[in-house]
Amino acid sequence: MRLVLLGPPGAGKGTQAQRLVAKWGVVQLSTGDMLRAAVAAGSPLGLKAKEIMDRGELVPDQLVIELIDARLDGADAVNGFILDGFPRTVAQAEALEALLEAKGMRLDAVIELVVDEAQLLKRVENRIRETLQAGGSVRADDNPETLKTRLEAYRKQTAPVSAHYAGKGTLKQLDGMAAIEKVAGAIDAALAS
Ligand code: AMP
């Protein structure tokens, strides 16, 4: 199973990806997680990415394309992968196509979790407040201001990616505002069809 999960920050991609990992025995490839690991490790890549991520903007395409290239045919991806947070620009989608072709692979599906942006913003803001009130910690870019920038980056740079896949006839759009189990059921149905 090789899958792309599209959707803005807070749409529930990570939650759904984790469930699919358990169900299909595939690996979740999240460029956000990889970049955060690089930042935590203080690697040259992390140093380059940190400020951009803290602002809520996208890091240069080449950085994430290299990260993904190294993982698509990794030992943990023998059963496939779920791309979560990649591709985020049309250039990344095109690079992914070239990488897959070179590796003799193809995508089984591209699923977009469609959300209402105003409701999403409230949902994420509530989640951040609750986490902080409970004494937990949130990501550096999980604050209302940065979230707005991240949503704007999604609208400007990532929405065209869904149009790109729609044009190829591979896109399946699902209601990402539904309850987690409902979204999960809709994903399973879309993958079975
Ligand atoms: P995420 O965890 O997917 O929300 O990603 C967190 C941050 O990492 C984003 O706001 C971007 O700064 C950066 N990032 C993650 N994936 C990508 C990508 N595919 N292209 C560019 N920047 C990315």
- Active site members: 13, 88, 127, 139, 150
Q: What is the DSSP string of 22-42?
A: HHH--EEEEHHHHHHHHHHHT
Of all residues in the chain, the percent with pLDDT exceeding 90 is 88
Residue nearest to atom 15 of ligand 1 (CA): 32
- The pTM score is 0.94
Q: Residue 184 has what pLDDT? A: 97
Does 136 have pLDDT greater than 90? Answer: yes
Q: Residue 124 has what pLDDT? A: 86
Residue nearest to atom 22 of ligand 1 (CA): 58
Looking at 18-142, which runs of residues are DSSP E strands?
Answer: 27-30, 81-84, 109-114
For 159, phi then psi, to 5°, come to -55, -40
Taking the CA atoms of 156, 162, 168 and 169 in sequence, report the sign of the dihedral they define.
Answer: negative
Question: Which domains are present in the chain?
Answer: 2-192 (3.40.50.300)
